[in-house]
């Protein structure tokens, strides 16, 4: 497939957010949910390790922490005000108190950065504590900004 066809295909999907027109609200929601899905994929095993429910594997922690460093930056522009009326698990307070929500996102990123640093050391206990720190920011944000399942 030629690059111009890729561009046409990508634009047809409405995913060229930022560089061109603003993405459609439904696309923004799909993208932010994708980031959450992948955060779950790569954080889940670490949470299990921190809890002693799975054997500690330093290589997996370091790899997943690196992925989470990128993923933890990805959801936020998807919570654009234009998405307010799209069906999702998001509570209205995300849009009515955007500053508080932004802070919660930044807390998570900071906790992930600490985990990335810890995962480069050789200290299993410190790494597990850093995993716990990330989990706390996930849970805190879900408590405040997401509908109860």
Which stretches of the chain bind its own copies, using CB under 8 A? 1-7, 9-11, 13, 15-20, 23, 30-31, 33-35, 37-38, 40-41, 43-51, 53-55, 57, 60, 66-67, 69-71, 73-74, 131-132, 135-136, 138-140, 142-143, 149
* Distance, CA of 81 to CA of 34 (rounded, Å): 18
Name which of 84 and 146 has its Cβ closer to its own copies: 146
CB of 30 to its own copies, least distance (A): 6
CB of 63 to its own copies, least distance (A): 8
The two structure tokens encoding residue 119: 């995962």
* Distance, CA of 116 to CA of 138 (rounded, Å): 16
* Distance, CA of 67 to CA of 14 (rounded, Å): 25
The two structure tokens encoding residue 59: 């290589």
The CB density around residue 46, as the number of other CB atoms within 10 Å, is 26
CB of 91 to its own copies, least distance (A): 15
CB of 119 to its own copies, least distance (A): 14
């Amino acid at each position: 497939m030629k690059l111009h066809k890729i561009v046409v295909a990508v634009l047809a999907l409405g995913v060229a957010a930022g560089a061109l027109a603003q993405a459609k609200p439904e696309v923004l929601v799909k993208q932010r949910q994708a980031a959450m899905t992948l955060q779950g994929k790569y954080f889940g095993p670490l949470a299990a390790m921190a809890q002693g429910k799975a054997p500690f594997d330093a290589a997996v922690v370091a790899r997943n922490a690196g992925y989470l460093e990128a993923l933890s930056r990805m959801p936020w522009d998807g919570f654009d005000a234009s998405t307010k009326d799209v069906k999702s698990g998001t509570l209205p307070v995300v849009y009515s108190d955007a500053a508080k929500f932004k802070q919660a996102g930044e807390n998570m990123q900071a906790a992930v950065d600490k985990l990335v640093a810890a995962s480069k050391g050789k200290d299993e206990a410190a790494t597990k504590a850093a995993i716990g720190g990330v989990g706390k920011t996930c849970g805190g944000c879900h408590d405040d900004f997401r509908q109860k399942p």
